[in-house]
A and B are shown apart, each in its own frame.
Chain A
């Protein structure tokens, strides 16, 4: 058991999943993914909808069979240790509608019956702050409360690894923050978290490391800070000109302290900048030299979204 502690929490090599479409071409949902997730870390798969995040996670969870590749969790594999592994992971699927006419406590009792050493209902309820709702029907809960109940179900067996697939999609900001606290508390207790998200803020807040996934592949991996640093600049200037006037990308790249420039088809421009104090006056000079005027100007810190845009030319939410 001691030796096992040095194993990574999750590792996989050459993971592929191909769905044969009945008619037409086969769909490659996962196209060769390698992962090595350490114990106690929170690892995020960040990418747009349809990138293959859910398929990847469901293969890791042992729900889907990969077309190729190997998965090891805690040094065990699904083919040999299915029963033992299930006891040690917790899963919240992207969308599960728990039985609406069961009370919160009844749902937890149902899930507790599957585990050899389930946690007590009272402890689970207080962890996810649903103690007052213990006798309420699931159908009467808010979206955030339902999601917290789903996570409580995942934590019934005191898992070593918690898989969360898009845990905060569709939640209001307050419920989202409540859920983040829950994940951070689990991690603080030594648990490993694997989560998928298309919210860059979520990945930035929660994750020790992030894999940026697109078209079934990991296109970049690292800590959020590393990924942002890879842009070569920490700041982003976004602007557009009055009347939708255009500027050439090459001209913008030539400005001092600008490491990257992109002009969207609608005329909106975005610059990655190492020193805003140098870039801004030069930009304003360029614009006024043309006799144009700025319609909008914004300076902010670079985010994972900017990393994604730089790598793929698309936004995360574009899908």
Chain B
């Protein structure tokens, strides 16, 4: 090593050195490793457990005193859980949604049995249909039309299947925003940008290095989550790996552009954190990371669909769940490329080194 030093070895390329600086700092900071890998995994464990699908849940109903044994027995035989409740408890349990409906005994002999339920709650309406069906049949109703149930339990339709691509998208976004925006501002605060400028460094090399460091991180980030999701929840990647790579890289590049824009003038890390949260938080809610953005009213859809994180999450879902190829994600790719390019150009113009 020493003799090699004295012979002035081929000098390392500045982009390689700048990339190494970034990766070394990243890997030597235990906190960032948690945010990059630990956090999304914990998130998918927690949400995966909360929304695990374990077959159809049984219908639970309450029965006030006076409901006949014949009724409760028929319901139990049909798979409905019947909880005997007094009047006040029945009210609170119904309000809390712990029973789908409450059976009210007939006021007099020959009067009808009462179903007490809230008709805007889907599970209450389902409960009423199930309970009524069982009771009418047990009372001798015959169904005139013959039907047959064809059950399909498709992989890809569970909540966890929806969630995992969303988490990957969210992770790629925060990886680029923090990993580039925050880092650049931090370098500015520490006067490191100015010091680099005073050396014969090409300015563009610094940006190339940030991009390269992201390119090294992206596959690791994605593969860790995908492997975990496969092992823990049997979530399968069904589409083209090339399409997955393109969507991820384009998405990351898009957020890298936004990160440079956000970081272009900020003079301290508090400002840049605030700005980044301002950009990212609305997208966490609107872009369909945790639930489908289709829930938002129609007039909001054009805005929601124009967001880069919506494009990234939709693109990732199309590839991972629906098995889409390149053609299926072209729109998302175009939208993200446009966001990235525009913000990069403006960001570079505004960028302050000192």
Residues of chain A at the chain B interface (Cβ within 8 Å)? 61-64, 83, 86-87, 91, 93-99, 101-102, 106, 109-118, 120-123, 153, 156-157
Q: How far is the CA of A188 from the CA of B16 in the complex (A)?
A: 35
Q: How far is the CA of A91 from the CA of B24 in the complex (A)?
A: 25
Task: Type the 1/0 row for B17-31, where 1 means its CB is closer than 8 Å to any CB of A.
Answer: 110110011001100
Judge whether A110 and B198 touch: CB under 8 Å.
no
Neighbour of B8 across the interface among A110, A117, A156, A157, CB < 8 A: A117
When A112-B12, A120-B8 are in contact, do A99 and B21 touch as well, CB less than 8 Å? yes
Q: How far is the CA of A87 from the CA of B20 in the complex (A)?
A: 23
Judge whether B195 and A93 touch: CB under 8 Å.
yes
Neighbour of B24 across the interface among A94, A102, A156, CB < 8 A: A102
A/B interface sample: 30 pairs, CB < 8 A: A61-B198, A63-B197, A63-B198, A83-B200, A86-B198, A86-B199, A91-B195, A91-B198, A91-B199, A93-B195, A95-B191, A97-B190, A98-B190, A98-B192, A98-B195, A99-B21, A106-B21, A110-B17, A110-B18, A110-B20, A112-B11, A112-B12, A113-B18, A114-B14, A114-B200, A115-B200, A116-B11, A121-B5, A122-B6, A156-B199
When A96-B195, A106-B20, A110-B18 are in contact, do A122 and B5 touch as well, CB less than 8 Å? yes
| B38 at the A interface (CB under 8 A) | no
Residues of chain B at the chain A interface (Cβ within 8 Å)? 2, 5-6, 8, 11-14, 16-18, 20-21, 24-25, 28-29, 190-192, 194-195, 197-201, 353-354
Neighbour of B14 across the interface among A96, A113, A153, CB < 8 A: A113
Given A87-B200, A101-B24, A153-B195: 15 more A-B contacts, CB < 8 Å: A63-B194, A63-B197, A83-B200, A93-B194, A96-B194, A97-B190, A97-B191, A98-B195, A101-B25, A106-B24, A112-B12, A113-B12, A113-B17, A114-B200, A116-B11
Residue ID in chain A nearest B12 by CB atoms: A113
Q: How far is the CB of B233 from chain A (nearest CB, A)?
A: 35
Judge whether A93 and B201 touch: CB under 8 Å.
no
When A110-B18, A113-B17 are in contact, do A99 and B201 touch as well, CB less than 8 Å? no
Q: How far is the CA of A101 from the CA of B11 in the complex (A)?
A: 22
Q: How far is the CB of A85 from chain B (nearest CB, A)?
A: 9
Judge whether B12 and A93 touch: CB under 8 Å.
no
Neighbour of A86 across the interface among B192, B195, B200, CB < 8 A: B200
Judge whether A113 and B11 touch: CB under 8 Å.
yes
Chain A residues with Cβ below 8 Å from B11 are 112-113, 115-116, 118
Q: How far is the CA of A117 from the CA of B10 in the complex (A)?
A: 10
Chain A residues with Cβ below 8 Å from B6 are 120, 122-123
User: What 9 A-B pairs are tightest by C-beta distance, nearest first?
Assistant: A86-B200, A97-B190, A91-B198, A113-B17, A120-B5, A101-B28, A113-B14, A96-B195, A114-B199
Most buried by A among B8, B12, B21, B29: B21
Chain A residues with Cβ below 8 Å from B2 are 122
Q: How far is the CA of A95 from the CA of B191 in the complex (A)?
A: 7
Chain B residues with Cβ below 8 Å from A87 are 200
Q: How far is the CA of A122 from the CA of B139 in the complex (A)?
A: 96
Q: How far is the CB of A114 from chain B (nearest CB, A)?
A: 5
Chain A residues with Cβ below 8 Å from B29 are 101
Judge whether A113 and B190 touch: CB under 8 Å.
no
Q: How far is the CA of A156 from the CA of B8 in the complex (A)?
A: 12
Chain A residues with Cβ below 8 Å from B25 are 99, 101-102
Q: How far is the CB of B13 from chain A (nearest CB, A)?
A: 6
Q: How far is the CA of A83 from the CA of B353 in the complex (A)?
A: 17
Neighbour of B198 across the interface among A93, A98, A113, A118, CB < 8 A: A93
Judge whether A96 and B200 touch: CB under 8 Å.
no
Chain B residues with Cβ below 8 Å from A94 are 191
Judge whether B13 and A113 touch: CB under 8 Å.
yes
Neighbour of A114 across the interface among B20, B28, B192, B201, CB < 8 A: B201
Neighbour of A102 across the interface among B21, B191, B354, CB < 8 A: B21
Q: How far is the CA of A87 from the CA of B200 in the complex (A)?
A: 6
Chain A residues with Cβ below 8 Å from B18 are 110, 113
Chain A residues with Cβ below 8 Å from B24 are 99, 101-102, 106
Chain B residues with Cβ below 8 Å from A123 are 5-6
Most buried by A among B2, B28, B195: B195
Most buried by A among B17, B21, B198: B198
Chain A residues with Cβ below 8 Å from B195 are 91, 93, 96, 98, 153
Chain A residues with Cβ below 8 Å from B16 are 113
